[in-house]
Structures are given as C-alpha cells and as structure tokens.
Chains A and B, each alone.
Chain A
C-alpha cells in the first residue's frame, strides 16, 4: 500500500541499549523528517533529510543518528537510549520542507 509506515509501533528498551526506529515511504518524496512528541513540548524536529545521503540536524538532535542510503527509507537510531528519550516518534515525508508533510502512525518508545 502507498503511504508512510513506521516500525515498530511500540518498543520498550533499557537505558544504554541501541534502538533503531524504521521509516519507509512509497511516494518517492525527496524530504523526510523525524519528530518527537512530548507533553508540553508539541512536536520537535530531530533530523531531516533532503535526499539520499543528505541529512541535517533539527531542533533536538543530541543522542540520535540518522542515515538515508535509499530515498524511501530514513531510519532513526538512538545509540545509547536514555529515559529522557521516552517519547512518541513520528516520521514524515514531503516534496519540500515548506509544503505539506505526510506523517506516519508513530512509534511509542519507552526507555526503562
């Protein structure tokens, strides 16, 4: 099916472990984005990518790593998870950073 998918939808991990959240889109959008959503903070941009092999930091990049070897995939890795990274993570895609963004269903991550 066309669209944007995220996996896993739910994840529980422990402090210090590495976790990778996956994002896949079928629209061939050049731009992809990772946000985290926390109560009291709204959505905050972690990283974004303008094309394959082009990534840039957003508002809250510390503790996260991204890669984009293929246009359709944009994985987000927490290299050493901390409790403060407990959040809901949303991936989005679009044709431009200024135009409409299309969001995935989100991944709920709990770091114990």
Chain B
C-alpha cells in the first residue's frame, strides 16, 4: 500500500535532546509530508519534501528522503515540552495523501 509507516511508534525524551523518527513507504511517491497533531487538535503541516530532494530544513526540523530505500526521517533538534505531539508522515503518489498511523513523542521537561 502507499501508506507510510512511522517508526518508532512511541518516543520519550528529555527536553533539549534530539528526537528522530522514521517513515517507510512501499510505492513511488511525488512528495512526502510530515504533520504534527497536538492532543485533541487537528493536524498541522510541518514540512514537504519532493521526490527529487534529499534533505530539507525548517527551523529546528530536518527531514531527509531516501527514495531508493523508500524511507524518510524527521529530526527535531533541541526538543521542547511543546514538541510533545503525534507526528504523521503522509505520502502522495496517487493523487491523494495516505497517512501513517503516527508516532507519539513525549518531551519531558
């Protein structure tokens, strides 16, 4: 299936540490997107990386994409308590977004 799959599914870190999560997918894509969801809220778009890009930065976020391995990683540097959320990758290769099941990140103050 097109759906991305995040790994690890749950991550607990201390404030100030870096958090890394991975996403794997199965078919070819046009782009891959990462979204954040705070508890009880809607999803918020973080970053989009296109299939011809290998790395992208946005503030404390760094996303990599390896199309040969069909995988992406999201790195959050110098984590803050406010980064506590679920993070979803979404792939798009079929004219719609397919979301993974999410990765729960808890940042301990």
- Residues of A whose CB lies within 8 Å of any CB of B are 35, 40-43, 45, 48, 58, 90, 92, 97-106
Contact = CB atoms under 8 A, between A and B. Distances in A.
B99 interface: yes
Contacts, number: 50
Interface size range of chain B in the complex: 20 to 34
A interface majority secondary structure:
loop
Interface in B35-53: 35, 40-45, 48
B90 to A, nearest CB: 8
B96 A58 contact: yes
Contacts of A104: 42
A45 B42 contact: no
A100 B48 contact: yes
Given A42-B99, A43-B99, A98 B31 contact: yes
